[in-house]
Chains A and B, each alone.
Chain A
Amino acid sequence: DIHMTQSPSTLSASVGDRVTITCRASESISDWLAWYQQKPGRAPNVLIYKTSNLGSEVPSRFSGSGFGTEFTLTISSLQPDDFATYYCQQYSSYPRTFGQGTEVKV
Chain B
Amino acid sequence: EVQLVESGGGLVQPGGSLRLSCTVSGFIFANFAVTWVRQAPGRGLQWVATMTETGHVAHYADSVRGRFTVSADNSRNTLYMQMNSLKVDDTAVYYCTTGSGWNDPWGQGTLVTVSS
> Is the pairing of A and B real?
yes
CB distance from B52 to the nearest CB of A (A): 10
Partner among A43, A50, A89, A96 whose Cβ is within 8 Å of the Cβ of B50: A96
A residues bordering B, Cβ < 8 Å? 32, 34, 36, 38, 43-46, 49-50, 55-56, 87, 89, 91, 94-101
Would you call the interface of chain B mostly helix, strand, loop, or mixed?
loop
Q: A43 — which chain B residues lie within 8 A by C-beta?
A: 95, 97, 106-109
Question: Would you give the 0/1 interface string for B35-52, flagging 1 where the beta carbon is closer than 8 Å to chain A?
Answer: 101000000111100100
Q: Is the CB of A46 within 8 A of B45?
A: no
Could you show 6 A-B contacts with beta carbons less than 8 Å apart? A36-B103, A43-B109, A44-B37, A89-B45, A97-B47, A98-B46
For B100, list chain A residues within 8 Å (CB): 91
Q: Would B59 and A95 count as touching, CB distance under 8 A?
A: yes
Q: Name A99's closest neighbour in chain B (CB-CB).
A: B44
> Which B12-54 residues have C-beta < 8 A from chain A?
35, 37, 44-47, 50
Contact residues of A: prevailing secondary structure? loop
Q: Does A56 lie within 8 Å of B104, measured CB to CB?
A: yes
Contact B101 A44 (CB under 8 A): no
Task: Let me know if A91 and B101 touch, CB within 8 A.
Answer: yes
- Which 5 residue pairs are nearest across A and B when measured between Cβ atoms? A34-B102, A91-B101, A49-B102, A43-B106, A96-B47
Q: How far is the CA of A46 from the CA of B99 in the complex (A)?
A: 12
B40 to chain A, nearest CB (A): 12
CB neighbors of A among B42-72 (8 A): 44-47, 50, 59, 61-62
